[in-house]
Amino acid sequence: MLPPAGWSAPTGPGAAGRLGTVVAVPEETARPSEPEAPARRPRTALLLGLAGGILALDLVTKLVVVATLSDREPLRLLGGVLYLTEARNTGAAFSFAEGATVVFTLIALVVVVVIVRVARRLFSTGWAVALGLVLGGAVGNLVDRVFRDPGFLRGGVVDFLSLFDPYGRVWPIFNVADSAIVCGGVLGAVLAVRGIEFDGSRGRSEDGTDGTVDEEAPAAPTERD
């Protein structure tokens, strides 16, 4: 219904009460809320999946080697670049420090525990791949040390890959687990040098300052026209 001709809005004290109070709605509340960015998920599944794949491949290849290459001459492949031969290693990867089986078994156990604890706060894909390779390889060799002869924690690890020589005289004989550990270690070193943390952030930028952005820092002043 339209107001009669000549009518004007009342002014002066009390006019707001007669017309009703007008409440200004802040612009922020008037706008529809923007959807929040989805929360990042830890890369635990990637780490464990890769570790499980490496472990399965390592165990299967060792079982095949023990079943088919025991007491047999090395198998020559790729024109002599690669040889398949069975060997037992009581040291670390690539037959390093043979005879210190118990020491390396305990070290492997510590590595496994540390990686499992880190997995809960792991958001970097690169670190998930690196630690997954190391975890799968460490567990693969750990299985041999626990269950193979000559006894618990002293078992010999099955190695079977030899480069350029059938008896490891050019390069130490190794296995799938050794390769995974070395590849994971190299990738981890690259990530560390680049300053990439487990959560995916960079610890330091190229100018030596903190690479993270401080959202509470005041904006730089700008010149007005």
What pLDDT was estimated at residue 217?
A: 42
Rounded-to-integer distance, Cα 139 and Cα 56, Å: 10
Q: Is 144 a catalytic residue?
A: no
Q: What is the pLDDT along the chain (225 residues), one digit of tens a residue?
A: 555 565 555 565 555 555 555 555 555 554 555 555 456 788 999 999 999 999 999 999 999 999 999 889 999 999 999 999 999 887 655 555 566 677 888 888 999 999 999 998 899 999 999 999 999 999 999 999 999 888 787 888 999 999 999 998 999 999 999 999 999 999 999 999 999 999 888 875 444 445 544 434 444 555 554
- Active-site choice (58, 144, 149, 178): 178
Q: Is 159 a catalytic residue?
A: yes
What pLDDT was estimated at residue 18?
A: 52
Is the model's pTM score more than 0.75?
no
Query: What are the residues whose beta carbons fall under 8 Å from the beta carbon of 85, sequence distance 6 or more?
Result: 69, 74, 75, 160, 162, 166, 167, 173
- Active-site choice (159, 165, 199, 214): 159
CB atoms within 10 A of CB 131: 27
What pLDDT was estimated at residue 101?
A: 72
